[in-house]
C-alpha cells in the first residue's frame, strides 16, 4: 500500500513541530477540554452541573485558540464564569473553608483532574507570555476556571452525600 505522506492521517496537529510554547499551551487546553467533556459525561444525574460543563466545553476551546488566533474570551465570558463560581461556592461555602483531598465520586475526581489541567494550562500560558503578548483576560479566565472546577467537584460530592476529607499539610502553615 503506497500512501502519500501528505495525507492528513499522518498529521494529528499541524503545528506540532513548532518550537514556540504556543503549541504546548494548545495541547494542554485541548487536554483540559477533553477532560471537561469526560466530567460532563459523568454528571448527567446532576443536570445543573452537566449543563454548566457543556457550556464550559466550547469556552475551553475558545481559550485554546485565543493565543494563536483571534481573542475569543470577552469580559462577559469572564463575568459569566465568575457568576458560576459564586453559585457553586455559595453551595459549598462550609466545605471549602479548608484544603481538601481530591477524592469522592468518579465525577468529582474527574472534576479535580479538570482543575489540575486548568492549572497546567495557566502555567503553559505563562510560558507563552514569556515569548509573546498574552491578553490578561486569558490568565484571569483560566485561573477562575480552575477554581470553578474545584467548587463544582466539591458540589458534586455534596450532591452525592460524599464527605470531603480535610488535608493538613506538614510542609506549610495554612491560615
**Distance separating alpha carbons of residues 172 and 175, to the nearest angstrom:** 10
Output the pTM of the full model: 0.93
- The pLDDT assigned to 88 comes to 98
Is residue 139 within 8 A of residue 122, CB to CB? The reply is yes
Instruction: Write down all domains in the chain, each with its CATH number in brackets.
Output: 20-159 (1.20.1200.10)
**Segments of the chain scoring below 70 in pLDDT:** 1-5, 16, 174-175
> What was the pLDDT predicted at 80?
98
CA 134/CA 12 separation, integer angstroms: 25
Amino acid at each position: 500500500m503506497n500512501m502519500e505522506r501528505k495525507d492528513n492521517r499522518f498529521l494529528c496537529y499541524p503545528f506540532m513541530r513548532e518550537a514556540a510554547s504556543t503549541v504546548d499551551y494548545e495541547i494542554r487546553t485541548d487536554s483540559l477540554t477533553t477532560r471537561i467533556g469526560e466530567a460532563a459525561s459523568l454528571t448527567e444525574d446532576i443536570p445543573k452541573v452537566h449543563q454548566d460543563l457543556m457550556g464550559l466545553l466550547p469556552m475551553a476551546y475558545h481559550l485554546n485558540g485565543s493565543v494563536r488566533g483571534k481573542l475569543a474570551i470577552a469580559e462577559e465570558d469572564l463575568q459569566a464564569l465568575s457568576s458560576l463560581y459564586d453559585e457553586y461556592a455559595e453551595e459549598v461555602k462550609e466545605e471549602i473553608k479548608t484544603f481538601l483531598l481530591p477524592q469522592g465520586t468518579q465525577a468529582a475526581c474527574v472534576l479535580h483532574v479538570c482543575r489540575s489541567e486548568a492549572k497546567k494550562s495557566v502555567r503553559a500560558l505563562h510560558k507563552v507570555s514569556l515569548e509573546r503578548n498574552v491578553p490578561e483576560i486569558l490568565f484571569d479566565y483560566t485561573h477562575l476556571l480552575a477554581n470553578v472546577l474545584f467548587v463544582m467537584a466539591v458540589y458534586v460530592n455534596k450532591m452525592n452525600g460524599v464527605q470531603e476529607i480535610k488535608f493538613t499539610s506538614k510542609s506549610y502553615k495554612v491560615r
